[in-house]
Amino acid sequence: MSKHVGASTSDLAAAAAEFARSGVAVVKELVPRPVAVYLSSVLSVMHGAGRLTSDRSQVPGAFVTYGDPAFDTLLPLLAGPMSQITGVELWPTYSFARTYLHGQELTKHSDRPSCQYSVTVHLGASDDEAWPIEITDLGGADRSIELAPGDGLAYLGCELTHWRGPCPSQWYSQAFLHYVDRSDRNLVFDGRPSLGRPRPN
């Protein structure tokens, strides 16, 4: 699978060292940039077709999708690189994608148990305004991390507090891919019978 991923072996090794130290690691072009551009366009088409839902929890009013095949497909494709970065054999749980709108914020939080090992990938935005993700790493340091389209930020979703200030762009799209340790099999696919399905009730 690694041939489908933009990151080089040396980039993944460097990310693994950083992840082991801090629980956070950036990988440039974890997803090849043209694929990120494509997925940003997929979200735009889904939005136009009324196939995104309005986020009622973390970012009220943002447009989101859970478990869509276009995004769940990234889970197995990136499981190998994510296992290299984290040093843990991982199972996919679920994908999520969100288009934030101007002024929307992501309040400080950590993630639910299906998000032990997560990577957030920037897909695209209406402009080049910087909009960093803020995260407190394992050493207690507050980090401010900017991503270009295709870049991934791997992080310990359940352990590390993360947030964003107000979105400066008209729109800004991001994919989230979540994994758990292979020892935690009841969380595989987030309780679904397969990838590509809606969230179970």
Residues in touch with Fe ion (CB under 5 A):
111
DSSP 156: -
- The nearer residue to Fe ion, 111 or 151, going by C-beta atoms, is 111
- The nearer residue to Fe ion, 31 or 98, going by C-beta atoms, is 98
- The nearer residue to Fe ion, 11 or 190, going by C-beta atoms, is 190
Query: CB 155 → Fe ion: shortest distance, Å?
Result: 9
The residue at minimum Cβ distance from Fe ion is: 111
The size of the chain, in residues, is 201
- The nearer residue to Fe ion, 111 or 190, going by C-beta atoms, is 111
The position carrying tokens 């990310």 is: 15
Query: CB 9 → Fe ion: shortest distance, Å?
Result: 28
d(CA 161, CA 155): 10
Query: CB 63 → Fe ion: shortest distance, Å?
Result: 17
Query: CB 195 → Fe ion: shortest distance, Å?
Result: 20
- What b/e string do you get for 91-101 counting C-beta neighbours within 10 Å, with b at 16 or more? bbbbbbbbbbe
Strand, helix or coil for residue 182? coil
Written as six digits, the tokens of 63 are: 């447009």
Q: What angle do CA 76, 188, 107 make, to 5 degrees?
A: 85
Query: CB 70 → Fe ion: shortest distance, Å?
Result: 20
d(CA 79, CA 178): 10
Can you state the percent helix, strand and coil of the chain, rounding each to 5? 30, 30, 40
- The nearer residue to Fe ion, 6 or 173, going by C-beta atoms, is 173
